[in-house]
Amino acid sequence: MRRNGALPQAAAGRSRHPGGGAYPGGGRDGDRARAPGLGNARLNVAPPKHLGELFLGFLWIGARSFGGVLPWAYRTMVEEKRWLTHADFTETIGLCQFLPGPNIGNASIVLGKRWFGLAGSVVAFLGLMALPFIWVLLLFTVYNDFSSNPLLKSIVTGVGAAGGGLFIGTALKLGRPIAKKPAAGVLIAGCFLAVAVGRFSLVAVMPAGILLAWLAARRNWL
């Protein structure tokens, strides 16, 4: 109901995204969300406005994901384009850990569905996989012909080392907000030791980790 030409406060404070979801905050800059653990700083979050932007965003992620896609996905969606908050990204990746297939591939489907429905899922996944598919075909041809070349072996080793460094850096970014709490630090260390040292399967470690996290949260330890 209008009064003196003004919209009700609840309606003025929300804007609807093309995918059908309502976001608090409104305005052309999208919604504003608080990212827990990042100094309680408020971040402008603006999901992609149309399918073309969604496709190009995931195409850009796939185009430069040498050595691992997770670090580039975080940089693109959280730090550069501000499609997601740190907490949103962490929760989405955590959910996709349980699904079969690559985590970022699953995340592209989940996020595309959230923003634009089924069409968004298809567009995001195709954008993510288009250029890597071409890279793999080209590099496989080159590697088959020159696999014994010492220089090529050194390059492959260097790319592997760089990929490992990127993953470690991203893991530190994702874990930093919660690792400040002792219980969270113990849980992170326990899961790492179980997988890296004890060689336990992720299928066993992840449910156990979730159960322990739930129990710790009930006691306000997390």
Domain enclosing residue 212, as ranges: 181-222
Same domain, 192 and 213: yes
Distance CA 109, CA 42 (A): 27
Give yes or no: residues 123 and 218 share one domain. no
Question: Is 173 found in the same domain as 186?
Answer: no
pLDDT of residue 80: 92
Query: pLDDT tens track of the chain, all 222 residues?
Result: 444 444 444 444 444 454 444 443 333 344 444 433 333 344 578 999 999 999 999 999 998 877 678 888 999 999 999 999 988 998 898 888 778 788 889 999 999 999 999 999 999 999 999 998 888 888 888 777 777 778 877 877 777 777 777 777 777 777 776 667 888 888 888 988 998 899 888 888 888 888 998 898 888 887
- 185 and 173 belong to one structural domain: no
Element (H, E) at 163: helix 150-179
Say yes or no: 172 and 186 in one domain.
no
The predicted pLDDT at position 11 comes to: 42
User: In this predicted structure, what is the pLDDT of residue 26?
Assistant: 36
- What pLDDT does 8 receive? 44
Residue 103 covered by a domain: yes
Total domains in the chain come to 2
In a domain, 11, yes or no: no
Residue 7, in any domain of the structure: no
Please, are residues 43 and 32 in contact by the beta-carbon 8 Å criterion? Answer: yes
What was the pLDDT predicted at 43?
Answer: 56
Domain assignment of residue 131, yes or no: yes
Report the predicted TM-score, pTM, of the whole model to 2 decimal places. Answer: 0.62
Give 34-91 as a DSSP string: E-TTSTT-EEEE---SSHHHHHHHHHHHHHT-TT-SHHHHHIIIIIIS--S-HHHHHH
What are φ and ψ of residue 47, in 5° steps?
Answer: -60, 160
Cβ atoms of 96 and 103 closer than 8 Å: yes
- Cα distances (angstroms) measured from residue 20 to each of 114, 122, 186: 8, 17, 40
